[in-house]
């Protein structure tokens, strides 16, 4: 093998290898930055009775909780979500929390909100508490089509990610249970090890979509 051939071979390797690595990594990132759709077209909450502010899942990235009539036992879950998820991501423009509860528990919700504000200094501007009937709670929950159930108080410790198109997002290949529809807000470990990552993914996905839309608009 001549010295010239070796030189050109090395130069070619130095030129093409970084390109190969960039394409490989870019493809991996794009494939990773997609959170699977598990259920399409869940029921929106815009027209639920008690939803006077007309909060909607549409065009928002929503963390959805079903607290039913079990508000007094939700303090630890609220604190976990507030510290690990809300405070970390609430500045994203279209991010929101939606908590659906039994309208007879309004005083308990007021007390819990006061604790969040005074106790940990939370700005609740993107926490939306939606009072409604047990029937409506069950209707919205059933539309998620999960493998989970509400308890006798129409409550669950699990919270869910709903995207701007009213699709439930989650994992279809979770290492522990396979299909992961929601995240147990009683478990700090599950929030830290799974939910934080999945919220990051969906927010990154939408940032990428916004950049693509901006580039098309500016062409």
List pLDDT tens digits, range 199-219.
Answer: 999 999 888 876 655 544 444
Domain match, 133 and 48 both: yes
Domain count, the chain: 2
Please check whether residues 24 and 80 belong to one and the same domain: no
Do 21 and 86 lie in a common domain? no
Same domain, 41 and 28: no
Angle of CA points 170, 174, 180, to nearest 5° = 40
101: tokens are 């509860």
The confidence band for 54, taking pLDDT boundaries of 50, 70 and 90, is: confident
94 and 55, same domain (yes or no): yes
What is the distance between the alpha carbons of residues 120 and 136, in angstroms, rounded to a whole number?
31
By DSSP bridging, strand 61-68 and strand 95-102 are parallel
Beta-carbon count within 10 A of 152 CB: 8
Looking at the fold, whether 17 and 58 belong to one and the same domain comes out as no
Same domain, 134 and 176: yes
Are 124 and 186 found together in one domain? yes
Say if residue 21 is in the same domain as residue 42.
Answer: no
pLDDT, tens digit, 9 for 90 and up, residues 87-135: 999 999 899 999 999 999 999 999 999 988 887 777 889 999 999 999 9
Q: Are residues 147 and 187 in the same domain?
A: yes
Tokens at 176, concatenated: 């522990």
Q: Check whether residue 116 and residue 13 sit in a common domain.
A: no
Residue 28: pLDDT over 60: no
d(CA 13, CA 46): 58
Domain enclosing residue 9, as ranges: 1-32
Give yes or no for a contact between 113 and 79, defined as CB atoms under 8 angstroms apart.
no
Query: To the nearest whole percent, how much of the chain has pLDDT over 90?
Result: 65
DSSP-derived letter for residue 74 is -
Tokens of 23: 């394409």
The DSSP annotation for 5-68 comes to HHHHHHHHHHHHHHHHHHHHHHHHHHHHS-PPEEESSPPPSTTSTT-TT---STTSEEEEEEEE
Structure confidence by residue, pLDDT tens digits, 55-78: 999 999 999 999 999 898 999 999
CATH number, domain of 139, equals 3.40.30.10
Both 14 and 74 in one domain: the answer is no
């Amino acid at each position: 093998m001549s010295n010239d051939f070796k030189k050109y071979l090395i130069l070619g390797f130095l030129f093409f290898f970084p390109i190969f690595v960039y394409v490989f990594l870019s493809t991996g990132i794009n494939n990773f930055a997609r959170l699977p759709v598990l259920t399409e077209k869940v029921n929106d909450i815009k027209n639920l009775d008690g939803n006077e502010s007309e909060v909607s899942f549409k065009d928002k990235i929503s963390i959805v909780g079903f607290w039913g009539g079990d508000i007094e036992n939700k303090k630890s879950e609220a604190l976990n979500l507030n510290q690990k998820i809300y405070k970390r991501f609430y500045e994203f423009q279209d991010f929101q929390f939606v908590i659906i509860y039994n309208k007879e528990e309004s005083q308990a919700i007021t007390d819990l909100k006061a604790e969040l504000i005074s106790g940990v200094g939370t700005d609740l501007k993107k926490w939306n508490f939606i009072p409604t009937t047990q029937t409506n709670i069950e209707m919205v929950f059933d539309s998620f089509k999960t493998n989970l159930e509400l308890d006798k108080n129409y409550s669950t410790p699990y919270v869910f990610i709903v995207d701007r198109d009213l699709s439930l997002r989650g994992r279809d290949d979770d290492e522990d249970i396979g299909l992961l529809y929601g995240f147990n807000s009683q478990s700090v470990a599950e929030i830290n090890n799974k939910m934080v990552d999945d919220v990051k993914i969906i927010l990154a996905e939408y940032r990428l979509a916004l950049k693509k839309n901006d580039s098309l608009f500016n062409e």
